[in-house]
């Protein structure tokens, strides 16, 4: 028993010891949320509650496994999985998992009541999109006029809102199209004994609502329900939990409304804000003591989040030191921003920090490019969480290979990458014949083979390929580098090629994101536009090659971590850099005129700030080249929403942008 309460503060102990009835724990960042949750499960078991009657739901399998390990350590039992679902068999551990994994277990037993077989398949996103396109073709709905991805997203939203095909009767023209596709899509899924990811929760809710006896079976089995990150629950998840907990009402919800940042994934902040309306007798406990950050960092976070109207008021506090002021630096552009960040890291390394102590956060993945280049040039190994290094991304390498071949038509490595990008039906045998005699011009060799094949489909393909390469070669000296890259992308038909890969399930990424990365490549190319086309290509490729070669020399044991702010939730670092603190970027331009979206951006800033333990450094650029254009943005409003006395502001003076005057408030 002492082990369960060891190292818990009074509020955590209070939350752990409440056994019966609804409980809401508002857990601020760095306040020991996971510790509170795991110790509560251990306490319930220590009080004689059957482990199998406890259901603990998390948002990631990693979190569930971590909880399982901690609980087993507290109880000194093996961290085995509870395999006795609805069997009544005593298990040493409770049921722990994500919403989807728990529902999958339920459906394997109960789904025959809906007319499916228990061995159903689960369709991933690409399978879903392929089926949507097939359904649209059968219904003679033009995919160029009505975007299949948009329709799929709309169907996913309908499912999350628990709107089934039979209950969806819209009045507007487009939504009527969606309704037709939705009906047929769901029918096709059922015909193939398939479920999509949304169906795992949605069909479980459908079974529970239509079959009270089945619902009661699970209510009797799981008498104690714990939900982590309650602020991130969507409507279907909220409904599932409400149904399961309705009989015993032993629901323990823990989370932080101020860290609700996933509205784009259908998270509904109202679920946590309205908890006391759903359960008027709920006990509400606040975990406000922060064990992570300095007083200065907490003051900044508290001040920013206080500007939100939609929130549960709370006052974070800490016994940690006051700490350094928050450094806010304005730079001329994104390259100067990246240089400043690497300069700061150099100085901090000299003062005793390690390279793994640093993280660089940004609002969008496209911001990583300039930072990556600076890190590579300065010799800092790094890793990107939730993304691929910019120059290692497929779409970037494909277009660079075209440029390399334009400059050097004997470059067989680049030719090998592009000869079937897009797919041209050129097989390995034909490829080997093309490159059999390297001293012969490759383009000429393609023409020779085309003539040999006569009037065939492959001959036509080879002839078209030769014309493409000839056209590209002719253009390389006529235009500046940016125009050349745009021409390559268009002439090759690269966007259509990406779409074809998605359709064939050979690519599992978002086409729009990949095209955005190519736009970012245009940002890089602009600084070479003053040179002639051919010379610009050569200098551009040379610099990139040097960057990549430098990267190979670095020790990868310790690395700087780069990620979007959304990816950083739940993590902490001694030193945090937040790049791009600019209006239109952070907060994002699409949120500035919509109050609820602006509040979510503010919560995102709150999350970013509270990742920092020791020091927080923010940067913003006067001019930023991003997505292929130059933007001039004002500093983020979030800078002015922090207490000015905790800031050390380093402005940029346009007349002398090397000046390092510092303003301390």
Question: Helices 148-160 and 235-245: crossing angle, nearest 10°?
Answer: 20
Q: Which of 34, 125, 289, 644 is flagged as catalytic?
A: 34
pLDDT tens by residue, 575-588: 999 999 999 999 99
- The predicted structure's pLDDT at residue 1: 55
pLDDT tens by residue, 307-321: 999 889 899 999 999
Residues 17, 21, 22, 25: what is their CA dihedral angle, to the nearest 10 degrees?
A: -10
Q: How far apart are CA 579 and CA 345, in angstroms?
A: 14
Q: How far apart are CA 599 and CA 311, in angstroms?
A: 10
- CA proximity to 624, closest of 379, 306, 338, 431: 338
Q: How far apart are CA 369 and CA 384, in angstroms?
A: 11
How far CA 618 is from CA of 380, 399, 568, 623, 635, in Å, comes to 19, 34, 16, 16, 11
What are φ and ψ of residue 326, in 5° steps? -80, 125
- The predicted structure's pLDDT at residue 657: 45
Q: In what order do the strands lie in the sheet with 251-255?
A: 95-98, 54-58, 224-227, 251-255, 23-27, 283-287
Helix (H) or strand (E) holding 121: strand 121-123
- CA proximity to 214, closest of 142, 129, 113, 305: 113
How far CA 348 is from CA of 49, 325, 356, 357, 578, in Å, comes to 51, 15, 12, 10, 16
Residue 662 binned pLDDT confidence (cut-offs 50, 70, 90)? very low
For residues 210-232, give the mean pLDDT: 95
| Chain centre distance of CA 376 | 24
Listed in sequence order, the residues at least 6 apart from 529 whose beta carbon sits closer than 8 Å to its beta carbon are 480, 481, 482, 536
pLDDT tens by residue, 6-17: 889 999 999 999
The share of the chain scoring above pLDDT 90, in percent, equals 46
Q: Which of 259, 561, 564, 650 is flagged as catalytic?
A: 259
Residue 19 binned pLDDT confidence (cut-offs 50, 70, 90)? very high
For residues 221-241, give the mean pLDDT: 95
Q: How far apart are CA 420 and CA 431, in angstroms?
A: 10
Residue 630 binned pLDDT confidence (cut-offs 50, 70, 90)? confident
Q: How far apart are CA 593 and CA 204, in angstroms?
A: 38
pLDDT tens by residue, 578-615: 999 999 999 998 888 899 999 999 999 999 999 999 99
Only one residue has tokens 């086409």, namely 511
Residue 229: active-site member: yes
Does residue 95 register a pLDDT over 50? yes
- The predicted structure's pLDDT at residue 321: 96
The reply to whether the predicted model has a pTM over 0.85 is: no
What are φ and ψ of residue 409, in 5° steps? -65, -5
Q: 636 by DSSP, 3-state: which?
A: coil
Residue 155 binned pLDDT confidence (cut-offs 50, 70, 90)? very high
Lowest mean pLDDT among 209-213, 318-322, 360-364, 463-467: 463-467
- CA proximity to 266, closest of 156, 175, 149: 156
Strands 573-578 and 612-621: parallel
**3-state percent helix, strand, coil for the chain, nearest multiple of 5:** 55, 15, 30
Q: How far apart are CA 396 and CA 523, in angstroms?
A: 13
Q: Which of 196, 228, 334, 538 is flagged as catalytic?
A: 228
Does residue 225 register a pLDDT over 70? yes
Lowest mean pLDDT among 191-195, 388-392, 587-591: 388-392
8-state DSSP, 578? E
Between CA 596 and CA 601, with CA 598 as vertex, the angle to 5 degrees is 115
Q: Which of 35, 154, 159, 611 is flagged as catalytic?
A: 611
How far CA 616 is from CA of 261, 291, 346, 567, 613, in Å, comes to 20, 16, 15, 18, 8
Average pLDDT value over all residues in the chain: 86
Domains in the chain, please, with CATH? 3-106+211-289 (3.40.50.300), 121-192 (1.10.10.160), 305-381+556-650 (3.40.50.300), 392-548 (1.10.486.10)
Q: How far apart are CA 583 and CA 620, in angstroms?
A: 9
Q: How far apart are CA 618 and CA 638, in angstroms?
A: 11
257 versus 662: the higher-pLDDT residue is 257
Residues making up the binding site for ATP: 27-34
Between CA 654 and CA 664, with CA 659 as vertex, the angle to 5 degrees is 105
Residue 405 binned pLDDT confidence (cut-offs 50, 70, 90)? confident
| Chain centre distance of CA 600 | 16
Q: Which of 110, 196, 198, 229 is flagged as catalytic?
A: 229
145 versus 3: the higher-pLDDT residue is 145
Only one residue has tokens 């390259």, namely 335
432 versus 640: the higher-pLDDT residue is 640
Residue 76, sorted as left (phi over 0), alpha (psi -120 to 50) or beta, turns out to be left
Does residue 86 register a pLDDT over 60? no
Q: How far apart are CA 368 and CA 375, in angstroms?
A: 10
Residue 553 binned pLDDT confidence (cut-offs 50, 70, 90)? very low
Q: Is 431 exposed, middle or buried (0-12, 13-18, 19+ CB in 10 A)?
A: middle
Residues making up the binding site: 27-34
363 versus 98: the higher-pLDDT residue is 363
Q: How far apart are CA 602 and CA 261, in angstroms?
A: 9
Residue 555: active-site member: no
Q: Which of 33, 68, 154, 369 is flagged as catalytic?
A: 33
Does residue 254 register a pLDDT over 80? yes
629 versus 212: the higher-pLDDT residue is 212
Q: How far apart are CA 491 and CA 41, in angstroms?
A: 61
Q: How far apart are CA 560 and CA 372, in angstroms?
A: 10
535 versus 148: the higher-pLDDT residue is 148
Find out whether 400 and 394 touch, Cβ atoms under 8 Å.
Answer: no
- The predicted structure's pLDDT at residue 653: 62
Can you give the length of the chain in residues? Answer: 665
Residue 471: active-site member: no
Does residue 531 register a pLDDT over 90? no
Please, which contacts does 523-528 make with residues 24 or more away whose CB atoms are closer than 8 Å? 523/369, 523/625, 523/626, 523/627, 523/628, 523/629, 524/369, 525/481, 525/482, 525/485, 526/481, 526/482, 526/625, 528/480, 528/481
- The predicted structure's pLDDT at residue 439: 56
Listed in sequence order, the residues at least 6 apart from 258 whose beta carbon sits closer than 8 Å to its beta carbon are 28, 29, 305, 308, 311, 312, 314, 603, 606
Residue 259: active-site member: yes
Does residue 438 register a pLDDT over 60? no
Lowest mean pLDDT among 175-189, 222-236, 248-262, 387-401: 387-401
376 versus 502: the higher-pLDDT residue is 376
- The predicted structure's pLDDT at residue 85: 52
- The predicted structure's pLDDT at residue 665: 39
């Amino acid at each position: 028993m002492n082990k369960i309460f060891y190292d818990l503060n009074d509020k955590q102990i209070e939350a752990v010891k409440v056994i019966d009835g609804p409980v809401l724990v508002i857990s601020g960042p760095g306040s020991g949320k996971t510790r509170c949750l795991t110790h509560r499960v251990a306490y319930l078991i220590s009080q004689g509650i059957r482990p199998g009657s406890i259901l603990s739901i998390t948002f990631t399998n990693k979190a569930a496994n971590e909880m399982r390990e901690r609980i087993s350590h507290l109880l000194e039992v093996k961290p085995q999985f509870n395999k006795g679902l609805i069997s009544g068999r005593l298990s040493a551990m409770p049921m722990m998992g994500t919403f989807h994994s728990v529902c999958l277990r339920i459906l394997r037993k109960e789904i025959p009541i809906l007319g499916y077989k228990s061995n159903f398949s689960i369709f991933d996103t690409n399978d879903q999109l392929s089926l949507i396109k097939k359904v649209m073709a059968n219904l003679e709905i033009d995919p160029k006029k009505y975007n299949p991805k948009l329709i799929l997203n709309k169907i996913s939203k309908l499912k999350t809102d628990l709107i089934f095909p039979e209950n969806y009767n819209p009045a507007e023209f487009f939504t009527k199209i969606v309704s037709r596709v939705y009906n047929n899509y769901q029918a096709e899924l059922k015909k193939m004994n398939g479920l999509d990811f949304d169906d795992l929760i949605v069909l479980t809710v459908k079974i529970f609502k239509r079959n009270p006896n089945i619902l009661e079976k699970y209510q009797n089995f799981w008498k104690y329900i714990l939900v982590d990150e309650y602020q991130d629950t969507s409507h279907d998840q909220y409904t599932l939990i409400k149904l399961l907990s309705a009989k015993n009402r032993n629901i323990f919800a823990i989370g932080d409304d101020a860290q609700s940042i996933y509205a784009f994934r259908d998270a509904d902040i109202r679920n946590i804000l309205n908890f006391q309306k759903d359960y008027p007798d709920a006990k509400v406990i606040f975990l406000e003591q922060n064990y992570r950050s300095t007083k200065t960092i907490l003051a900044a976070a508290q001040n920013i989040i206080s500007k939100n109207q939609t929130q549960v008021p709370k006052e974070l506090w800490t016994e940690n030191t006051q700490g350094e002021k928050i450094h806010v630096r304005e730079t001329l552009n994104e390259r100067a921003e990246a240089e400043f960040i690497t300069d700061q890291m150099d100085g901090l390394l000299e003062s005793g920090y390690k390279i793994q102590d640093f993280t660089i956060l940004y609002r969008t993945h496209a911001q990583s490019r300039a930072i990556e280049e600076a890190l590579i040039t300065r010799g800092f190994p790094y890793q990107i969480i939730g993304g691929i290094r910019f120059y290692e991304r497929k779409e970037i390498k494909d277009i660079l290979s075209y440029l390399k071949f334009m400059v050097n038509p004997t470059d067989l490595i680049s030719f090998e990458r592009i000869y079937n990008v897009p797919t041209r039906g050129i097989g390995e045998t034909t490829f080997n014949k093309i490159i059999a005699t390297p001293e012969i011009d490759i383009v000429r060799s393609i023409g020779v083979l085309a003539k040999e094949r006569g009037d065939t489909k492959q001959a036509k393909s080879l002839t078209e390929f030769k014309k493409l390469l000839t056209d590209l070669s002719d253009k390389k000296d006529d235009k500046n580098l940016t125009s050349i890259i745009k021409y390559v992308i268009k002439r090759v038909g690269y966007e259509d090629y990406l779409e074809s890969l998605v359709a064939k399930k050979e690519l599992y990424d978002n086409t729009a994101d990949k095209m955005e990365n190519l736009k970012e490549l245009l940002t890089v190319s602009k600084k070479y536009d003053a040179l002639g086309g051919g010379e610009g290509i050569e200098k551009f490729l040379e610099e990139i090659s040097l960057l990549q070669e430098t990267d190979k020399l670095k020790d990868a044991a310790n690395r700087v971590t780069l990620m979007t702010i959304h990816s950083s939730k739940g993590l902490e670092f001694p030193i945090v850099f937040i790049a791009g603190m600019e209006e239109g970027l952070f907060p994002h331009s699409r949120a500035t005129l919509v109050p609820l979206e602006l509040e979510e951006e503010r919560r995102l800033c709150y999350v970013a700030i509270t990742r920092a333990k020791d020091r927080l450094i923010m940067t913003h650029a006067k001019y930023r080249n991003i997505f292929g254009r130059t933007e001039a943005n004002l500093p983020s409003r979030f800078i002015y929403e922090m207490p000015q006395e905790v800031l050390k502001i380093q402005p940029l003076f346009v007349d002398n942008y090397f000046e390092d005057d510092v303003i301390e408030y």
